[in-house]
Structure 1
Amino acid sequence: MLNIADTLDRWCRGTRPFALATVIDVHGSAPLPVGTSAAVDVDGNAVGSMSGGCVEGAVYELCQQVLTDGGAPQRAWFGHSDDDAFAVGLTCGGELDVLVQRIDPAAEPHLAAALDEVMSGRPTAVAHVVDGSEELLGRTMYVLGDVDAIHGTLDDGEVDRMVTAQASALLRAGRTARVEIGGDTDTCPEKLSVLVHVHASRPRMLIFGAVDFAAALSRVGHFLGYRVTVCDARPVFATASRFPEADDIVVDWPHRYLARTETDARTVICVLTHDAKFDIPLLRLALDLPVGYVGAMGSRRTHDERLNRLRESGVSEARLARLRSPIGLDLGARTPEETAVSIAAEIISYANQATGRPLSDGTGPIHGPLVRHQADGRSTPYLAARVGMDR
């Protein structure tokens, strides 16, 4: 639901009832992920998309029906029909499980409060019961990450405590996911499926080296939603005028800044200096941190020399295996802008454990393991590995 938080927040402020349709499960090549929502208010105004156009009309009609009936939440399934080319379904061949429910903001003030927190930029997790008893289906509660405060309740007991623990963990990871709660006769006999919608603080992109490649990468990082920091020990280069898209410009030795700044599992570190006096102490520290990605610019010769220096300084082979160098995917990049795209592509691929290979060079779902075509007609899965991520 957080993909349309701005409109839902406005409707809640005006105590305008609406029907909320949420993707609660996905199979195959569905166009949008779990947690995506669309909504229709009492005047017929619609917001959001669930499939890029394939099933929007059917979802709209179902929302209007739920608004009119005012009854219990409804489930709908959308798949692909080979028998009827005009049937409502996903042309991509995927399947969507959708929950549609009526929301009365006056009766659920905590949901309105959660949307206010999201719009203010505070880390927030909204727990949404998407499968379970009729009494709890569709109910919500939320957790604020910065103060670990809980608002709303599902059953005012063990279920609340279990949901809060799961929501807090997903909020720290910055990940929306569906989790199973209960089913244990000793502690919580009722089994629930809860979709945790997460609005996390922006992940960080730390760029070391105030060079032209850094200027281009800071623009791409900003576009991708990162909080971008550019750090360089040379004040003549590390200036706001050279990096207008960066959120922070830091003049300091890179390793000293990294030692004192905040990082987490979503942080990406890009070392673009290719200068040993900066790189070695910085990478020694970076490779020991539980961050999401560490990449370093340089030729293959520079990379080999860098590895030898890092080994001599005591960095283990397991840690060295985390280093993505030369940084970026092989796109034939030459300009700073092309190189920035190459680096961003590798970051996205690495985070999703994807292959980085052309989608046209395979078969199977585009959001699943890619299968390579063989000349002899056989198919071989591409294997993606994140080596050495022992955190």
Structure 2
Amino acid sequence: MFDIAHDVHRWLADGQDVALARVVAVSGLGSSATTQAVARSGAGEVAGSLLDSAADEQVAAALREVTGAGPRLMDVVVSDQQAVDAGLVCGGRAQLIVQPATEVPEAAWDLLRRREPICLVTDLDGPALGRTTWFTLATTEDGPDRLTRHTPDVQRLFGRGATLTAATQSSTGGAVLVDALWPTPRLVVIGDGLLAEALERLGTLLDWQVRICTAVADGVAAVTELTRGDAVVVLSHDRDVDGPVLQAALTGRTGYVAGLGSRRTQAARRGWLRDRGVPDDVAARVHGPAGLDIGARTPAETALSILSEALAVRTGTDARPLRERGGPVHADGLNTPPPRYAVPSPSLP
């Protein structure tokens, strides 16, 4: 949904009818992601994909019919050969919900465009089929019946902090589709060398999107796109490079801002920021020297130290040894993991 949000917003702003299809349930099909979504504009443009494109013709036909027919559930069958051609392990079947994109509230599309964590809850039966409501970490209702309609199970699915799709029941007994959507973390590294390479390798292992920038213009452009779940690590000690990048990160929404270097280097960076009007309390958001104190010496160990701190900041934890924290390792198990962001979602205007 994050990857199609900009296109859907543009098409709706142009006054086009936009159709949306999402997966409700899958049987077989190997590793096909259930959180995929596809949208089609009235002009025939398509964004996203479903089932790794194994059922494109069936999905395309359903999307073309949405404007006149309204929301509906549909089953698609993928043969073993179609699955193999699409890179899947085996064939299978899937249930989809196809609906006008306008049934997802505009505010929800705005949050998706901003890459904010969001949970969509869509009615799957009755006269309200296709009706979609939403909540975020800070927003628990978008309508008068919001809190009464959704059970704690739905909120716990979102609270796991992982992208997933599940069909469950609301408190009224109706079937609902829960899309818990968490953006993939992005890591921007400013500078090059062995540590940059180690950060790239470790970030990739974590399934983060990693970008290495060496030019100041590229670095500033990259960090201005980051959000609360993302991170920037500044390796450069050149004030003409690290200064503007840190300033851009601090005035934006980047969750983890870190700088490598000695305490003297950190003080020099704070002075540079102060001279350019960045308040001291804002400059204090820079984690510098970067990383947790785990005795790191090699580039790989230093990368582990830095990204461990980035993860702790992202999840809002204090990075203590587990043995020092009482109770179950996962609190109440999978139902109550740590929050995935330390800072509540900002209110919508």
TM-score, length basis structure 1 = 0.51
Aligned-residue identity in percent: 14
Deviation at 1:74, TM superposition (A): 2.4
Secondary structure of the residue aligned to 2:90 is coil
Q: Which amino acid aligns with 2:148?
A: E
Name 1:192's counterpart in structure 2: 175
State whether residues 99 and 130 of structure 1, in contact with CA within 8 Å, keep that contact through their aligned partners in structure 2.
no
State whether residues 129 and 140 of structure 1, in contact with CA within 8 Å, keep that contact through their aligned partners in structure 2.
yes
Distance across 1 between alignment mates of 2:34 and 2:91: 13
Secondary structure of the residue aligned to 2:122 is strand
Name 1:38's counterpart in structure 2: 38
Distance across 2 between alignment mates of 1:165 and 1:30: 28
Answer 1 or 2: which has greater helix percent.
Answer: 2
Q: For the structure 1 residues 67 and 81, does the alpha-carbon distance in structure 2 shift closer, same or farther, using more than 3 Å as the test?
A: farther
The correspondence for 1:117, drawn from 111, 120, 123, is 111
- Which has the higher relative contact order, 1 or 2, with Cα contacts under 8 A spaced 6 or more apart? 2
Q: For the structure 1 residues 10 and 40, does the alpha-carbon distance in structure 2 shift closer, same or farther, using more than 3 Å as the test?
A: same
Instruction: Show the 5 A alignment for 1:145-164.
Output: 145=137, 147-148=138-139, 150-152=141-143, 155-156=145-146, 158-160=148-150, 162=152
- CA deviation string 1:166-224 (max 9, x = no partner): 46524xx1423325234xxxxx3414232224144x647699xx983222244564744
Q: For the structure 1 residues 58 and 216, does the alpha-carbon distance in structure 2 shift closer, same or farther, using more than 3 Å as the test?
A: same
Instruction: Show the 5 A alignment for 1:1-391.
Output: 1-30=1-30, 32-68=32-68, 70-81=69-80, 92-103=89-100, 105=102, 108=103, 111-121=105-115, 123-129=116-122, 131=124, 133-145=125-137, 147-148=138-139, 150-152=141-143, 155-156=145-146, 158-160=148-150, 162=152, 165-166=155-156, 168-170=158-160, 173-178=161-166, 180-182=168-170, 188-200=171-183, 203=185, 212-219=193-200, 221=203, 223-224=209-210, 227-230=230-233, 240=241, 248-251=257-260, 273-274=296-297
Distance across 1 between alignment mates of 2:87 and 2:186: 35
State whether residues 24 and 130 of structure 1, in contact with CA within 8 Å, keep that contact through their aligned partners in structure 2.
no
Q: For the structure 1 residues 217 and 51, does the alpha-carbon distance in structure 2 shift closer, same or farther, using more than 3 Å as the test?
A: same
Q: For the structure 1 residues 6 and 204, does the alpha-carbon distance in structure 2 shift closer, same or farther, using more than 3 Å as the test?
A: closer
Q: Which amino acid aligns with 1:135?
A: P
Distance across 1 between alignment mates of 2:77 and 2:293: 42
Deviation at 1:40, TM superposition (A): 2.2
- CA deviation string 1:36-56 (max 9, x = no partner): 111223333322221343211
Aligned residue pairs, count: 267
TM-score, length basis structure 2 = 0.56
Distance across 2 between alignment mates of 1:204 and 1:54: 29
Secondary structure of the residue aligned to 1:150 is coil
Q: For the structure 1 residues 149 and 129, does the alpha-carbon distance in structure 2 shift closer, same or farther, using more than 3 Å as the test?
A: closer
Q: For the structure 1 residues 102 and 317, does the alpha-carbon distance in structure 2 shift closer, same or farther, using more than 3 Å as the test?
A: closer
Unaligned runs of 5+ in 1: 183-187, 293-313, 320-388
Distance across 1 between alignment mates of 2:41 and 2:13: 13
Q: For the structure 1 residues 163 and 129, does the alpha-carbon distance in structure 2 shift closer, same or farther, using more than 3 Å as the test?
A: farther
Distance across 2 between alignment mates of 1:163 and 1:316: 27
Unaligned runs of 5+ in 2: 212-228, 250-256, 267-283, 326-336, 340-349
- CA deviation string 1:316-337 (max 9, x = no partner): 8999xxxxxxxxxxxxxxxxxx
Secondary structure of the residue aligned to 1:34 is coil
State whether residues 213 and 272 of structure 1, in contact with CA within 8 Å, keep that contact through their aligned partners in structure 2.
no
Q: Which amino acid aligns with 1:250?
A: G
Secondary structure of the residue aligned to 2:105 is helix
Distance across 2 between alignment mates of 1:104 and 1:315: 46
Bigger Rg, which one? 1
